[in-house]
């Protein structure tokens, strides 16, 4: 189920800033931030503070955004040592406001979140064992904090949920012919997963290299809870590993450091170990399928295919250098 282009908000920076000032009392300037399904604006207040104004997809109901808000509060109270954004209340005391788009006639939910200083992992120049270990430990603590979290909106159908990988497979015909059989193999492996033996919980679901915030060589924050979903817990680690290995000269060394740190804080079960490598390759396969689909329907937006080249390179590398037991040997 692809995101309808008509549901993605298209407000200007001036409109975003005017809304921030009118509803939240934040005077300053607004600049667009990249996003797939909604609109994000950096609001630089005149006093020097920074905020993120998030205008939601028109199909995102307020209960879905409340899921994200309550999860961030839950993680913050759990003292995971990894920062998450805080939700600012409007003049009316609301976590969620509404903005109307005059041209489309659509209403969109709006939130203002605090800013986390640092740089995204994708742009981090200082990469090493300390960084990767902090990512593994940070995600493990967040997953441990969320294991008892519950919300009425957590049972949702999400195209990026690894349990629903066949939604991405629908777009395999858009891949180059010589690539289709390669990706089909990974979806075939996915079909052999016994989901009933895995642990389940709400997960962040998108610890990609643009959502992990780094400072002083360590992970200090995690952004964008928009892909939260109740699913197999191990999917969190699989997603993170896929993006951590992007552009690494030795991707397995990076993966090992993340994996072992995660294991120390929130140990995997035997069943989770056995499916981890399949889920990593499945996430990468989903990524290239959705990139092909996004390019076909929206060729002018480079953010929609920002990970495509790196995903293909990593798929080829992992197929070439990993043994039959996948990533499990990294835990030995």
The 8-class DSSP code of residue 163 comes to: G
Instruction: List the one residue out of 81, 40, 39, 128 whose CA is nearest residue 222.
Output: 81
* Predicted model pTM: 0.90
Cβ 204 vs Cβ 230: under 8 Å: no
For residue 188, name the pLDDT band (cuts at 50, 70, 90): very high
Q: What's the pLDDT at 307?
A: 74
Residue 244 has pLDDT above 70, yes or no: yes
Q: State how far the Cα of 328 lies from the Cα of 275, in Å rounded to an integer.
A: 9
Question: In this structure, are residues 54 and 68 in contact, taking their beta carbons and an 8 Å threshold?
Answer: no
Is the confidence at residue 116, as pLDDT, over 90? yes
Neighbours of 329 (CB within 10 A): 13
State the pLDDT at residue 125: 84
Query: What CA–CA distance (Å, rounded) separates 99 from 106?
Result: 9
Question: With respect to CATH, is domain 11-114 assigned 3.30.200.20?
Answer: yes
**What is the band of 302 on the pLDDT scale with cuts at 50, 70, 90?**
low
| pLDDT at 155 > cutoff 70 | yes
**Six token digits for residue 267:** 């140990």
In the chain, pLDDT over 90 holds for what percent of residues?
Answer: 77
Assigned fold of 119-331:
Aminoglycoside 3'-phosphotransferase; Chain: A, domain 2 (3.90.1200)
Instruction: Point out the least confidently predicted range of 133-147, 189-203, 242-256.
Output: 242-256
Q: Is the pLDDT of residue 1 over 60?
A: no
Average pLDDT score over residue span 89-110? 93
pLDDT surpasses 80 at 298: no
Residue 299's pLDDT is: 66
Give the per-residue pLDDT at 278: 93
Q: Which residue has the tokens 């407000």?
A: 11
What pLDDT digit, counting tens, does each position of 25-68 carry? 999 999 999 887 889 999 999 989 999 999 999 888 899 999 99
pLDDT over threshold 80, residue 95: yes
Q: Which part of the chain has CATH 3.90.1200.10?
A: 119-331
| Mean pLDDT of the region 226-234 | 96
The pLDDT assigned to 26 comes to 96
What is the distance between the alpha carbons of residues 68 and 118, in angstroms, rounded to a whole number?
A: 22
What's the pLDDT tens digit per position in 210-224?
A: 999 999 999 999 999
Q: Please tell me the predicted confidence (pLDDT) of residue 58.
A: 87
How many degrees, rounded to 5, is the angle at CA 205 between CA 202 and CA 207? 135
Tell me: the pLDDT tens digits for 169-185? 999 999 999 999 999 99
Identify the band that residue 144 occupies on the pLDDT scale cut at 50, 70 and 90: very high
**Averaged pLDDT of the chain:** 91
- Closest by CA to 279, choosing from 202, 213, 211, 194, is 194
The predicted pLDDT at position 193 comes to 97
Tokens found for residue 61: 């109901």
Which residues in the chain are classed under CATH 3.30.200.20? 11-114
Sole residue written with tokens 């939260």: 228
């Amino acid at each position: 189920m692809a995101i309808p282009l008509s549901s993605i908000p298209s407000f200007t920076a001036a409109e975003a800033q005017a809304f921030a000032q009118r509803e939240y009392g934040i005077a300053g300037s607004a600049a667009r931030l990249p996003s797939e399904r909604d609109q994000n604006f950096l609001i630089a207040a005149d006093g020097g503070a920074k905020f993120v104004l998030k205008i939601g997809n028109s199909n995102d109901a307020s209960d879905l955004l409340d899921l994200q808000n309550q999860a961030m509060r839950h993680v913050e109270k759990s003292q995971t040592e990894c920062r998450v954004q805080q939700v600012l209340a409007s003049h009316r005391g609301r976590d969620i406001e509404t903005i109307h788009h005059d041209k489309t006639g659509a209403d969109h939910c709006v939130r203002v979140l605090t800013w986390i200083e640092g740089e995204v992992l994708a742009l981090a120049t200082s990469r090493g064992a300390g960084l990767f270990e902090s990512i593994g430990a940070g995600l493990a603590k967040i997953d441990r904090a969320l294991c008892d979290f519950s919300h009425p909106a957590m049972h949702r159908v999400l195209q990026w949920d690894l349990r629903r990988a066949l939604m991405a497979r629908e777009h395999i015909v858009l891949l180059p012919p010589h690539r289709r059989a390669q990706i089909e193999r990974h979806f075939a492996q996915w079909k052999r997963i016994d989901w009933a033996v895995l642990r389940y919980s709400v997960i962040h679901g998108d610890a990609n290299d643009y959502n992990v915030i780094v400072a002083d060589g360590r992970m200090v924050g995690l952004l964008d809870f928009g892909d939260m979903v109740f699913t197999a817990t191990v999917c969190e680690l699989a997603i993170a590993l896929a993006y951590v290995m992007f552009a690494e000269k030795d991707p397995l060394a990076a993966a090992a450091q993340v994996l072992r740190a995660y294991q120390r804080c929130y140990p995997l079960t035997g069943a989770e170990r056995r499916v981890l490598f399949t889920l990593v390759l499945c996430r990468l396969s989903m990524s290239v399928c959705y990139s092909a689909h996004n390019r076909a329907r929206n060729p002018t937006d480079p953010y929609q295919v920002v990970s495509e080249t790196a995903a293909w390179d990593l798929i080829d590398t992992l197929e070439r250098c990993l043994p039959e037991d996948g990533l499990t040997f990294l835990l030995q």
